[in-house]
Structures are given as C-alpha cells and as structure tokens.
Structure 1
Amino acid sequence: MPIYRIAIGNPGEASNPDAIRAALAEFFSMIIFVFAGQGSGMAFSKLNDNGTMPSTGVIAASLAHAFGLIVAVAVGANISGGHVNPAVTFGAFIAGHITLLRAILYWIGQLFGSVVACFLIQYATGGMAVSAFALSSGVSSWNALVFEIVMTFGLVYTVYATAVDPKKGNLGIIAPIAIGLIVGANILAGGPFDGASMNPAVTFGPAVVSWTWTHHWVYWLGPFIGAALAAIIYDHIFIGDDEYSHQPLPTDY
C-alpha cells in the first residue's frame, strides 16, 4: 500500500470546529455504547447475585452491545463517521482516510467517553464494581491476541464494505446495523474466552475505573493489528487508487 496515503494533517486541525465537533460526537457515541454494554453485564450479574455470567449472560451481552453500537454508530455517522472505536479510527488512518491529528482527537474523545460511561454506570448502580476485561481460565495472552485480531478484522472489514467503499450504493443505509451485528456475533464467539473487546476504548474505561491492567496490552495490540490488516486489504484490493481520497470515513450512511 503506497505510503503517500498516510497523512499527518495540519496543526490547525486540532482547533478546527468541525474536527472538535467530530471528537465530541465520538465522545457521546462512546458513552451511549459503553453504558449499554457494560451496564448489561453488571445488570445480569445483579440479577444472578453471584457475579458470574452463564451462557445466557453472554447472549444478553451480545444483544446489548449490538443494539448499543447500532445506535452509537448511527447517531455519530453524520458528524464523525461513527467510528466509536480507536481501532476503526486507526484503520482509517492507515488507509489514508483520516489524518493522524484528527485521529488523535477521535481517540481522546473515545477514551474519555468510555471512562465517563463507566463512572456513570458505577454511580447509577450504587457503587457496583466495574469489571475489567480478563482472560478465561486456560486462555493465554497469545490466544486472546489471535481472538482480538480476527474479530477486529471482521469488524473493520464490515465497516469498509458497508460504509467506506464508494461502490456501496444503498448498502450504506444498513451500515450501522451490519456493524452492530458483527460485534454481537463476535461476542458470542469470543466472549467466553477473553470478553471479545475489539475496541481498546471499551477495555480502557473499565480498566481505569477498576484500576486493573492485567493483559491490557492484548486489547490494544490485537484490535490495532486486525484493523490495520482489514483496512489495508480492503482498501488496496477492493477500492484501489482510483477511488482514493484523504477523507474521514463517509458520513452518508
């Protein structure tokens, strides 16, 4: 993939009103998503009164994350592109669809939104513990890394196919639904093993609130690798140079 596609951006971009609004959109979208996703796990634990999450809990978490992400992507789409995920933003940067400086603004908004959402859900539940992502018994950090790479690859590939590809046509209308569904499906597949993050911000918020950082690097490295692979492969093979432009993810879906 040609290196000229990667753009650093203009320093003035950090104070550009459009860029700031886009970062704020990511902040609020992340609050919506994390509050619903993290809250679903805490609610299920409350109902079961034992802090565990049996198979029905995984289904509940899958649905909550899918529905929450559909809404979070949709409400942010016309302002920021509805990334709602630092890995998606990283993939967009690697493929040249967003500048580094704009990506940094997005990352700040996404991470801060996740932390705020976790503090809000902790307060709203009367001080219930916010659990950080963790590996299940028998799952090594390298096992989890592969899970995160593969699952995030599927997520970002879906983002490119339904939202970024200029040939998507009317398919862009269902982009938020497709993105939410692939996350829900991946949680069913990987949730029992490593929590199925696919999103460094989703992992970061609970880690900050609970101050638990065990294996935290897995939830950054895996999604970033998966996102970069998906972005490079889809952009290079299916979009190509003719359709290329240095723009944020499309906001017309």
Structure 2
Amino acid sequence: MPSLSLRSSSRSSLGHKKPPVSPRSARLVVLCLGEVLGSAMLMYFGCMSLVSGFSQAPLPGMQGGLMFGFVVSTIIVIFGHISGAHLNPTVSLSAYLLDMIPLIELPVYFVSQIVGCLIGVGLLHVVTPQEILYPLGGSVGFCVTVPHASLTQAQAFLAEFLSTSLLIFTCCGVWDPRNARHGDATPIKFALVIALCSITVGPYTGASMNPARSLAPAVFSQVWTAHWLYWVAPMLASLVSTLTYKYLFSAADSLLAGKSHSTELSEGDVEGSVPMPIN
C-alpha cells in the first residue's frame, strides 16, 4: 500500500508542474506590449496628421487636435481591456495614486510608453522622406512641442499644468465606480477631451499633456526648447489633480453618502419600509 501511494503521489506531482511563467510576469509582459504598441500607434498616426510637406497649403488649424483625439479613441478600443491604454505617464501615475495599479507596474508603464513613442516617431521617419518631414529645415523640428515665442516659461508651464489637469480629472471621473454604468462611451470621452485641449492649448504649448509624447520627437529632431516643463508640469498636474479628486470629491462624497444613507434608514424604520441603497 505505501508503494502504491508513493507512485500515485509521484504521478500527481509530475502531472502538476509549475508553469514556466508566473501570472505576475505574464501580466507585466502583456501590459508592456499593450502600452508599447498603443504608444507607437499614438505617435505614428498622430504625428502623421501633422506632416505638411506634401502640400503647399497650410494644414487646417484643427486637423492635428482632432486626429490625436481620434487616434486615442481607437487605441482605447483596441488596448483598453489589455493594458488600460494609458499611453501617458501622467495617466499611469494617476492610476497608481488611485490604487488601480500596484507600484511594481508603474515603471513598466513609464518605460513602455517612452519606448512605444520612440518607435512610433521612428517608423514615421522611416516611411516619410526627410524633406517632407522637415520642409523648413531640421532646426524647426517635427511634431515637437515648444512654447509659443511670446509666452514666458511660467505661462507655458501653467498652460500645460491646466490642460493636463483637465485630462486627469476626466480619467478620474471615468474610473470612478459611481460612473461605472456610463462606461460605454469612454473612447469618445477621451477623444473629445484630447481634441479640446489640443485645439485650444495647442497654439500656446503644443498641448502635450504627456512627457513621453514630447520626448520622442525631441530625440529625433534634437529640439529641446523648454523641454523640462513638458515633464514637470504634466506630472505635477497629475499628482495634484488625482489627490484632489481622491480626497476632496471621492472621500467627501462617500461621507455625505453615508450620512444620507443613515438618515434614510431611520426614516425607513419609522415607515416600516426598506430604503433603496444609495449608489
């Protein structure tokens, strides 16, 4: 009998080998690929809409803003359920502050987004002749975000801070569990907010709202004018906006909802009925 039990246990142990890749490692690989591909698509198609060398006529003023919005919307449909389709370090930072992703995933998101943006701009340089990308010469740069010459760096900083804040508040609102039943139009919501910020803030700073989006064209064009503010302003805006939403809107609303719920409970006891839960 002992020998039979030993054989059965050995067979069971052989039949239940540990998988070669842990679930956490597989998760990191999947989200990495999703963010790399999504960020590459963002920069390839978004910056492609800004190519002006094929025509003598200037590009329509709203073309770039609308195209970036449409591209983001499409990427959310493709990768939203895979990696979240953050495409932006400010969005990933916000997700971390809201306890939506663990700390170990945060640098993976950051690196994947930067690599993806570099790949996207690189592919666009491969398929487009240099004289088309840079019709005015390489010193101007292509798809590079720089403040308007008439703005001070403080003004440009504030413009980027406020536009990124609008984007992050939109993220917080979409992610809010109280808004879960209205999630079907999420791609359209982000298309609109990206287009809004790009069209209005674009003439001021280029409306980056995304450090990875600003880094990749700067690397290829070697134009670094006020590049620091495209990192500091968006990341600071993400921090401030997320914490404001988390502790002012979410926490305060939860407290108010709790008080209202307790009040309705007491009224229900008096009337002998059961109150509906407050969402």
- Tell me the TM-score range normalised by the shorter chain: 0.7 to 0.9
Q: CA deviation at 1:99?
A: 2.3
Going from structure 1 to structure 2, the CA distance change for 1:241 and 1:77 (only over 3 Å counts) comes to farther
Partner of 1:202: 213
Instruction: Give the letter aligned to residue 159 of structure 1.
Output: C
Aligned counterpart, 1:112? 115
* TM-score (ref. length: structure 2): 0.75
Consecutive unaligned residues of structure 2, counting only runs of 5 or more, are: 1-20, 135-141, 255-279
Quickly say closer, same or farther: Cα 1:14–1:125, change in 2 above 3 A.
farther
- Aligned mates of 2:244, 2:143 — CA distance in 1: 35
Q: Which residue, 41, 66, 69 being the options, matches 2:69? A: 66
In 1, Cα distance between the equivalents of 2:22 and 2:213?
26
Residue 179 of structure 2, aligned match among 160, 168, 186? 168
Is the 2:93–2:106 Cα contact (8 Å) retained in structure 1? yes
Select which of 34, 37, 42 maps to 1:25.
34
The corresponding residue for 1:92 is: 95
Correspondence for 1:230 among 235, 241, 247 = 241
Task: Write the distance in 1 (CA, Å) between the matches of 2:101 and 2:72.
Answer: 21
SS of equivalent to 1:82: coil
Q: Distance in 2 between matches of 1:14 and 1:65?
A: 34
Change (3 A) 1:242 1:151: closer
Which residue matches 2:18?
A: none
Q: Residue 50 of structure 2 contacts residue 143 of structure 2 at CA under 8 Å; is this kept in 1?
A: no
Q: TM-score, normalised by structure 1?
A: 0.82
1:152 aligns with 2:164: yes
SS at match of 2:101: coil
Shift of 1:131: 4.0
The equivalent residue for 1:4 is: none
Q: Give the secondary structure class of the aligned counterpart of 2:63.
A: helix
Query: Which of structures 1 and 2 has the larger relative contact order (alpha carbons within 8 angstroms, sep 6+)?
Result: 1
Query: Matched residue of 2:145: which SS?
Result: coil
* Distance (whole Å) between structure 2 residues aligned to residue 62 and residue 124 of structure 1: 22
State whether residues 86 and 200 of structure 1, in contact with CA within 8 Å, keep that contact through their aligned partners in structure 2.
yes
1:33-60 deviations in whole A, cap 9, x for unaligned?
1111111111x343236xxx66x2x300
Task: Specify the SS of the correspondent of 1:188.
Answer: helix
* Aligned CA distance change for structure 1 residues 139 and 45 (closer, same or farther; 3 Å): farther
The separation in 2 between residues aligned to 1:15 and 1:167, in whole angstroms, is 29
Separation in structure 2 between the aligned mates of residue 26 and residue 125 of structure 1, nearest angstrom: 24
The residue matched to 2:224 in structure 1 has which SS? coil
Equivalence for 2:277 = none
Aligned residues: 225
Deviation at 1:147, TM superposition (A): 0.8
| 2:54 matched residue in structure 1 | 46
Specify the alignment match of 2:231 in structure 1: 220
RMSD over aligned Cα, in angstroms? 2.3
AA of the residue aligned to 2:163? M
- Partner-residue secondary structure (3-state), 1:41: coil
Cα deviations by residue, 1:39-95 (Å, 9 ceiling, x for unpaired): 1111x343236xxx66x2x30001110100101122121111111111111122233
Larger radius of gyration: 2
**Residues 125 and 167 (structure 1 numbering): CA distance in 2 closer, same or farther, change over 3 Å?**
same
Measured in 2, the distance between the counterparts of 1:242 and 1:188 equals: 33
Greater Cα offset, 204-213 or 124-133: 124-133
Gap runs ≥5 in structure 1: 1-11, 244-253
2:83 pairs with 1:80: yes
In the alignment, the residues of structure 2 paired with residue 126 and residue 79 of structure 1 have an alpha-carbon distance, to the nearest angstrom, of: 34
Amino acid aligned to 1:19: L
The alpha-carbon distance between structure 1 residues 104 and 168, as it changes in their structure 2 partners (threshold 3 A), is same
